[in-house]
Amino acid sequence: MAPPPNTYSESWWGGKEERGTPVVVKMDNPYSLVEIDGPGMAAPSEKARGKNAKQLTWVLLLRAHRAVGCVAWLAAGFWAVLGAVNRRVRRSRDADAEPDAEASGRDRAMLRFLRGFLLLSLAHARLRDEKYLRRLPEHLQHLPEHLRRHLPEHLRMPEKEEIEGWLHRAYVAWLAFRIDYIAWAIQKLSGFCIALFMVQSVDRLVLCLGCFWIKLRGIKPVADTSISNDDIEATAGDGGGYFPMVLIQMPMCNEKEVYETSISHVCQIDWPRERMLVQVLDDSDDETCQMLIKAEVTKWSQRGVNIIYRHRLNRTGYKAGNLKSAMSCDYVRDYEFVAIFDADFQPNPDFLKLTVPHFKGNPELGLVQARWSFVNKDENLLTRLQNINLCFHFEVEQQVNGVYLSFFGFNGTAGVWRIKALEDSGGWMERTTVEDMDIAVRAHLNGWKFIFLNDVKVLCELPESYQAYRKQQHRWHSGPMQLFRLCLPAVFKSKISTWKKANLVMLFFLLRKLILPFYSFTLFCVILPLTMFVPEAELPIWVICYVPVIMSVLNILPAPKSFPFVIPYLLFENTMSVTKFNAMVSGLFQLGSSYEWVVTKKAGRTSSESDILALAEAADADARPPQAKLHRGVSEGGLKEWAKLHKEQEDATAAAAAAAAAAAPGTPVKKSKAAKAPNRIFKKELALAFLLLTAATRSLLSAQGLHFYFLLFQGVTFLAVGLDLIGEQVS
């Protein structure tokens, strides 16, 4: 006969403890203590009761201590955040007080209004929840039968006699209107946005699979390195080889911080000097900057580099007008290819030797595009997040489209064009702010092919301030909509295949330039917070969490070192959807800001690990006399001119101060100090931060866990961006 089961076990304090059949208890009130007797659970002795009471007391005290500590920590953190926000707002207000006191007063009034409205909303939500959540079943008696099916099952339907008062009937009427009209509209719009979201996710997944296949099979463009007799005769003085005539254009405008580094890198490209011409295309309206750039060009010209300086009196057409003006020179007809570098790009000496040979034996090839790399990608959080986006753009989008379609958007710089392709496509046009995408689309419609070289990298800078990045993104997202509206008839009239037309319209323009900012802004910044106030239109969890996280992980794969930033990247991309959506709408409907062109502010970063000047000095130490060594820094003539202008400005300031002191002897003279760049307030981001944080509060009171965390973190991200707390403030 089997022995009876042992119902005793050793407890953690050494005594014996009775065991019985396990019982799972679900308690509606977590703060009540319930004593449960089950089979095999005998009544404990008085001694055991005393021990249990003491242990329970200590456990409760310990948990209460932890709860109090947690609350104190949260309160201290919240207070610190409020203090930082207050200091930031005061600093911005003080910086703007002198130039525009009236605007500052309006900002202070707006801030006080927002604070009061937030407190009033929180108090109203709290009172409303306490009042109606207790008596909600009593307020729903008048709902029609088809509306009762939408209510949770645990709500009791009281009799009509329990409902009293016109306020109750008004509330019930509001619920009916909300379910029939508001919730219906939100559900239809959210369903449409979710469908767009899934289509864009599938497109991104296909691009990632294409990139994986390219990596797996080692697919990449191969240049023709063979040397013909014509090449030997054409370059007999250079030892033979394929060295066609190459024109290098460097458009710039008021970019003192980077012009010297960029010119020095371009002038040291390894190419026969008689077969290369450098055009420095200066649109600067700052006379000091003009003199500095002209002095730098003179310095390199004296060292034997074939370089010229061109300056326009006005900026008609911006960059497109600058390039168009340069291409109209008579000597351009002697050149076969043109390479373009913006003012902050630093090409390696072998750039032309790695790109130009791809044109040999390939008469249909119109463009060879190199990849960008960044000298300041680890400068701050903003540059890290930009690096994630651009790595995916080059590694996945550009490479896959280049390999499988022979078409992609020209990036505007770090590329080599066949001049014949530019001329056949109509040349540079000034009709949009994305002249690079414009010329690429027109060349594609004329049958020219493109090649993207992922292993040829050119150093450049990322914008380090949010304001500069915001303006850059506005231009990059309003321009494609201008171009889409202008070139759509030409696409349907072109002779390219139907598949290429569909790819150009549906994928290149609509999906990646229009649909992406539309659904990102509408779904995560508008619909999601509204569902907290209209619970009948709740979004599924997989739309809020699972799919966005998966897509963010796919975006980070080309930059694996940035994996710890996957959550900040997801939140920041949703925040930037406001700027992108606004730019998309302004470009599509020809609003005033769509033609705004602001030069992206540069900081003048250089890469210490790839100092091209040091490499050039080491390579040419034997062939160059000591006095001809290359030096970084402004040329002597430029320094003298700059010092002269600076001295004149200081003298003028001192004279004005002396005159003011003589006019008012009793008035103290205020000492001037270096102006610190104030933090700016971005009102659109702050308005959405207010909406999201209010929705997060509502979600917390409704006990919706995941929605609360997403809304809270997204609202905090909007708040940080709206107060200009991300990136560097560049004056």
Q: Predicted confidence band at 715 (pLDDT cuts at 50, 70, 90)?
A: very high
Q: Which two tokens stand for residue 291?
A: 């003199």
Contact by Cβ (8 Å): 358, 368? yes
Is 212's pLDDT higher than 70? yes
How many other C-beta atoms can be found within 10 angstroms of the C-beta atom of residue 16?
10
Output the pLDDT for position 480.
93
Phi, psi dihedral angles at 247 (to 5 degrees): -100, 130
How far is it, in rounded angstroms, from Cα 581 to Cα 585? 6
- Bridge partners of 276, per DSSP, are 246
How far is it, in rounded angstroms, from Cα 625 to Cα 731? 42
Mean pLDDT along residues 615-625: 44
Is 406's pLDDT higher than 70? yes
Lowest mean pLDDT of 2-6, 687-691, 720-724, 726-730, name the range.
2-6
Among 73-82, 405-414, 674-683, top mean pLDDT goes to 405-414
Is 378's pLDDT higher than 60? yes
407-417 pLDDT per residue, tens: 999 999 999 99
Amino acid at 110: M
Is 106's pLDDT higher than 80? no
Q: For a pLDDT cut of 90, what percent of the chain falls above it?
A: 49
How far is it, in rounded angstroms, from Cα 679 to Cα 417? 41
36-78 pLDDT per residue, tens: 344 444 455 555 555 556 666 666 777 777 777 777 777 777 7
- Helices marked H in 180-256 — which ranges? 183-217, 229-234
**425 exposure class (CB count in 10 Å sphere: 0-12, 13-18, 19+):** buried
Segments making up each domain of the chain, as ranges: 217-224+243-463
CA distances from residue 636 to 264, 294, 650 in whole angstroms, order as listed: 15, 12, 21
Q: Which two tokens stand for residue 168?
A: 């109750």
Output the pLDDT for position 610.
41
Q: Predicted confidence band at 150 (pLDDT cuts at 50, 70, 90)?
A: low
How far is it, in rounded angstroms, from Cα 82 to Cα 233? 74
498-513 pLDDT per residue, tens: 999 999 999 999 999 9
Closest to 385 (Cα-Cα) out of 466, 316, 307, 324: 466
512-532 pLDDT per residue, tens: 999 999 999 999 999 999 998
How far is it, in rounded angstroms, from Cα 211 to Cα 219? 10
Give, in degrees to the nearest 5, the angle at Cα 647 between 642 and 651. 150
Is 103's pLDDT higher than 60? no
How far is it, in rounded angstroms, from Cα 617 to Cα 460? 22
Closest to 695 (Cα-Cα) out of 575, 522, 517, 535: 535
644-672 pLDDT per residue, tens: 555 565 566 556 555 555 544 444 444 33
Three-class HEC string of 121-175 = HHHHHHHHHHHHHHHHHHHCCCCCHHHHCCCCCCCCCCCHHHCCCHHHHHHHHHH
Angle, helix 101-139 to helix 683-701, in steps of 10 degrees = 20
Is 558's pLDDT higher than 90? yes
Is 611's pLDDT higher than 50? no
Angle, helix 166-177 to helix 101-139, in steps of 10 degrees = 100
227-270 pLDDT per residue, tens: 666 655 555 555 567 899 999 999 999 888 899 999 999 999 99
Angle, helix 46-95 to helix 101-139, in steps of 10 degrees = 150
Q: Higher model confidence: residue 55 or residue 626?
A: 55
Largest distance between two CA atoms of the chain: 118
Contact by Cβ (8 Å): 311, 284? yes
Contact by Cβ (8 Å): 368, 416? yes
Q: Which residue has the tokens 């991309």?
A: 573
Cα-based torsion angle of the residue sequence 478, 480, 486, 489 in order, rounded to the nearest 10 degrees: -150
Is 90's pLDDT higher than 70? no
Q: 199: number of CA atoms within 13 Å, CB side?
A: 16
Closest to 51 (Cα-Cα) out of 20, 17, 22: 17
**89 exposure class (CB count in 10 Å sphere: 0-12, 13-18, 19+):** middle
Output the pLDDT for position 679.
65
How far is it, in rounded angstroms, from Cα 454 to Cα 402? 10
Strands 365-374 and 449-460: parallel
According to CATH, the superfamily of the domain at 217-224+243-463 is: Spore Coat Polysaccharide Biosynthesis Protein SpsA; Chain A (3.90.550.10)
Which helix (H) or strand (E) is 58 found in, with range? helix 46-95
Output the pLDDT for position 459.
95
Q: Which two tokens stand for residue 568?
A: 């900040």
Is 155's pLDDT higher than 70? no
Amino acid at 19: R
Q: Predicted confidence band at 134 (pLDDT cuts at 50, 70, 90)?
A: low
Output the pLDDT for position 70.
72
Closest to 636 (Cα-Cα) out of 234, 381, 296: 296
Contact by Cβ (8 Å): 343, 575? no
Q: For the chain, how are helix, strand and coil distributed in percent, rounded to 5?
A: 60, 10, 30
Mean pLDDT along residues 579-603: 80
Amino acid at 140: L
- Helices marked H in 608-704 — which ranges? 612-619, 636-663, 683-701
Catalytic residue among 283, 342, 344, 724: 283
Active site residue 436: yes
Q: Predicted confidence band at 725 (pLDDT cuts at 50, 70, 90)?
A: confident
- Helices marked H in 271-418 — which ranges? 287-302, 318-327, 351-355, 381-392, 399-404
DSSP track, 87-118: HHHHHHHHHTTTT-HHHHHHHHHHHHHHHHHH
Lowest mean pLDDT of 140-144, 370-374, 493-497, 533-537, name the range.
140-144
Mean model confidence pLDDT for the chain: 78
Let me know how long the chain is: 731
Output the pLDDT for position 32.
36
The pTM is what? Answer: 0.71
Catalytic residue among 282, 342, 436, 724: 436
Provide long-range contacts, Cβ within 8 A and 24+ apart, for 398-404: 398/369, 398/371, 398/452, 398/454, 399/211, 399/214, 399/452, 399/454, 400/207, 400/210, 400/211, 400/214, 401/452, 402/221, 402/369, 402/450, 402/451, 402/452, 403/210, 403/214, 403/219, 403/220, 403/452, 404/210
Amino acid at 145: E
Q: Predicted confidence band at 179 (pLDDT cuts at 50, 70, 90)?
A: confident
DSSP track, 429-466: --SSS-HHHHHHHHHHHTT-EEEEEEEEEEEE----BH
Is 28's pLDDT higher than 50? no
Q: Which two tokens stand for residue 394?
A: 């080059």
How far is it, in rounded angstroms, from Cα 571 to Cα 531? 19
Contact by Cβ (8 Å): 727, 465? yes
Q: Predicted confidence band at 224 (pLDDT cuts at 50, 70, 90)?
A: confident
